[in-house]
Amino acid sequence: MTHHFTQSFRNGEVSAKELISSLQSLFDSREPDVVSFLPEANRFERLQKEAEELVARYPDSKNRPPLFGMPIGVKDIFHVDGFVLICGVTD
């Protein structure tokens, strides 16, 4: 995922579906080696829905917040609603 692709989403040149598809390709290629994400059923369906909700909330690309559509990761040492802290413990 390049900054350019995220900027294109922010500007309305790339759809939510295209953004999430690109993120999923990157995830699928890197995560097996990194193993840093908690298992989550339907992860990319959820992300696409959230991206579409962002576009609906901020339809004018000129008035979108600075981090609009920017993918970020949050280490599980922080409590995030909807996710369980596992402290590096896996099955």
Each residue of 1-47: pLDDT tens digit? 456 778 899 899 999 999 999 999 999 999 898 888 878 899 999 99
pLDDT above 90: residue 79: no
pLDDT band at 48 (very low <50, low <70, confident <90, very high): very high
For 63-87, what is the mean pLDDT?
76
pLDDT of residue 61: 92
- If one compares 49 and 70, the residue with the highest pLDDT of the two is 49
For 55-61, what is the mean pLDDT?
95
Which domain range does residue 40 map to?
Answer: 1-91
3-state secondary structure 30-60: HHHHHCCCCCCCCHHHHHHHHHHHHHHHCCC
pLDDT above 80: residue 83: no
pLDDT of residue 2: 55
- Signed CA dihedral, 87, 76, 48, 30: sign only: negative
Measure Cα distances from 69 to 18, 20, 23, 59, 84 in Å: 12, 10, 11, 13, 24
Which tokens is 5 given? 């692709």
- Structural domains in the chain (count): 1
What lies within 8 Å, CB to CB, of 69 at 6+ separation is 6, 9, 10, 19, 51, 54
